[in-house]
Amino acid sequence: MYPDPIEQGLARGWKVIDASRLVRDLVLEADVAIVGTGAGGGVTAEILGAAGLSIVMLEEGPLKSTRDFHMLEAEAYRQLYQESASRKTLDNAISILQGRCVGGSTTVNWTSSFRTPPATLAYWQREFGLGALSGDGLLPRFEMMERRLSIAPWHVAPNANNELLRRGAERLGISTGVVRRNVRGCLDLGYCGMGCPTNAKQSMLVTTLPAALERGATLVTRARVQRLARRDERALQIEASGLAAGGIEAGTSRVIVRARHYVLAAGAIGSPAILQRSGVPDPGQLVGARTFLHPTMISAAFLPERVNGYAGAPQALYSDHFLDDVAIDGPIGFKLEVAPLHPVLFGMTLPGFAARHAELMREFSRAQVVLALMRDGFNAESPGGIVGLRRDGSPVLAYPISEFIWRGARRALLAMAEIQFAAGARKVYPVHEDAEGYSSWRAAKAGIERLAMKPRVARVVSAHVMGGCGMADDPRRGVVGVSGRHFHVENLSVHDGSVFPTSLGANPQLSIYALAARNASLLARELTGRPAPVVA
């Protein structure tokens, strides 16, 4: 058995409170209250804690750790994901994966680590006045977080699922690169999406959060932050509900936290929802708008040999060819990666039922799956989606898929099929209700050209929710400034993926780590009057 750093910390007296077990209301005070313990919340907690500030963290999900991670889909999705991994956009056209546990999405993510692409930063400078992040602006933050989270190029031979992407791409003259991963002593198991059972993945759960707890921070789990109470320009307290025993809906207990400063890091969808529930001033109706997804198309190939897509680091290789061959604000570009394969997600993703479905499932071990992540938000025709609230206050994202995006989706399905045939696939199935399996690139090309690109018929997924509290140099264009400070509430910041004014065109975690490190350091300096600590 691997040691469980959380269990050990609890034994040493870490202050962790499960709000679903509270018998009376809880009131806490701190210098800073942080909502959400994912990428943004974790980094913020470590840096502010190291600066000597007292911290309370509030997290809606449960505290699960090494001993709970059994590499079983049957347990993981329900315990660790938003809405049991069945979150969807308003019209059910896009399935959304997000974490809901201590460590947030970093506890379940696939460890691929990319710096923010320079073209994206240049676009932000031009369109949103974010020059401070361009050029070398974020460089020291990237370097610090890469050291802190052991981010390095993956040095083990990629599994067949990844290798086939390279093989097919190379034969077509398309270049691929090696993914960098935040791992230490990774056993190449391939179960990152269910919580790493060996502590190899350097998620927030085993890095920044333990560091903050070790310095005395308080963590309240299963506490859903409902609203931020405010008088004029100052936030006064955070109000959260302890969840009921099932851990899903709000129960009757309340948690109140009063702090000098408040940091929202509940993730995209989560953070805008809190601002909306709180009625924080939003004259431009910007909160929740411009929420991006990297809408992702899926192509499944079947090979003559076993691929065993469940084993081995999920993502080892990628291609930016189809991002780089278009202007950033031209037709939508897409990044190619592969998806780790496990029976439940695979079964849910394959279209059809009865014999058609069963036959493909029997080929599970020979399946190879490529993903195309579309770079949304850089063109007037991809303005993203809008977060809103249901009557019960829970958030939902409306994301209409424009013709502009559907055209990209078709190009993506074509590109993936061509690569998969070049890699030796016997059959390729674009994931689409009407697509039959194609046996040759020619047949696939003709077939994909004819597929109807419509919601719920062409399958679209996302594991990268971004935006909704966009940053800009001007309150007319953004919800927060470049340092994450809210434009209308002076003691409020947002430090998570919701601050991006567009999508990234790269997997988000490292961009969030670096930006949170930058803005937490600025905040630490402001609150303590001393230079911020360097955590690595």
Partner 1 sequence: MRDSNIRMFTRRDFLKVGATGAFVLASVRLGRSQPVPSHRDGVMDAPALDAGAREVLAAIVPVMLAGALPADRSARSERTAATIDGVDHAVAGLPAHAQRDLRDLFTLLGFAPTRWLLARVRRPWREAPEREVAAFLESWRASGWALKQQAYQAFHELVFAAYYADSESWPDIGYPGPPVLD
Ligand X SMILES: Cc1cc2nc3c(=O)[nH]c(=O)nc-3n(C[C@H](O)[C@H](O)[C@H](O)COP(=O)(O)OP(=O)(O)OC[C@H]3O[C@@H](n4cnc5c(N)ncnc54)[C@H](O)[C@@H]3O)c2cc1C
Q: Of 390, 442, 476, 530, which lies in the binding site for partner 1, with binding defined by CB under 8 A? A: 390
What is the DSSP secondary structure assignment for residue 205, as one 8-state letter?
G
Coil/strand/helix, residue 212: helix
Kindly state whether residue 58 participates in binding ligand X, applying the rule CB under 6 A: yes
Give bridge partners of residue 234 from the DSSP assignment.
231
Among 4, 9, 54, 90, binds partner 1 (CB under 8 A): 90
Q: Pick from 38, 62, 190, 481: which binds ligand SF4 (CB under 6 A)?
A: 190
Q: Are 250 and 243 in contact (CB under 8 A)?
A: yes
Which regions of 289-442 does DSSP assign to beta strands (E)? 291-292, 296-302, 317-318, 334-338, 367-374, 386-389, 395-398, 427-430
* Burial (0-12, 13-18, 19+ Cβ within 10 Å), 92: exposed
Number of residues that bind partner 1 (CB under 8 A): 69
Q: Does 35 bind ligand X (CB under 6 A)?
A: yes
175 binds, among ligand X, partner 1, ligand SF4, none (CB under 5 to 8 A by kind): none
Out of 129, 140, 281, 424, the residue judged to bind partner 1 by CB under 8 A: 281
Does residue 158 belong to the site contacting ligand SF4 (CB under 6 A)?
A: no
Please choose, from the candidates 191, 212, 164, 468, the residue with its C-alpha nearest in 3D space to the C-alpha of residue 343: 191
Q: Which of 51, 57, 186, 419 binds ligand SF4 (CB under 6 A)?
A: 186
Q: What is the DSSP letter of 166?
A: H
Give 8's contacts (C-beta < 8 A, 6+ positions apart): none
Looking at beta carbons only, is 134 or 198 nearer to ligand SF4?
198
User: Would you say 198 or 365 has its CB closer to ligand SF4?
Assistant: 198
Residue 104 interacts, among ligand X, partner 1, ligand SF4, none and using kind-specific CB cut-offs from 5 to 8 Å, with ligand X
Our finding on whether 198 is near ligand SF4 (CB under 6 A) is yes
Determine which residue in the list 149, 313, 453, 512 makes contact with ligand SF4, applying CB under 6 A. 313
450, with CB counted inside 10 A (0-12, 13-18, 19+), is exposed
Does 286 contact ligand SF4 by CB under 6 A?
Answer: no
Question: CB 140 → ligand SF4: shortest distance, Å?
Answer: 26
One of 196, 205, 415, 514 touching ligand SF4 (CB under 6 A): 196
Which of 72, 139 has the CB closer to partner 1? 72
Size of the site for ligand X (CB under 6 A): 42
CB count in 10 Å sphere of residue 330? 10
Q: Is 430 in the site for partner 1 (CB under 8 A)?
A: no
Distance between CA 333 and CA 374 in Å, rounded?
6
Among 158, 288, 468, 497, binds partner 1 (CB under 8 A): 288
In 10 A of CB 504, how many CB atoms?
27
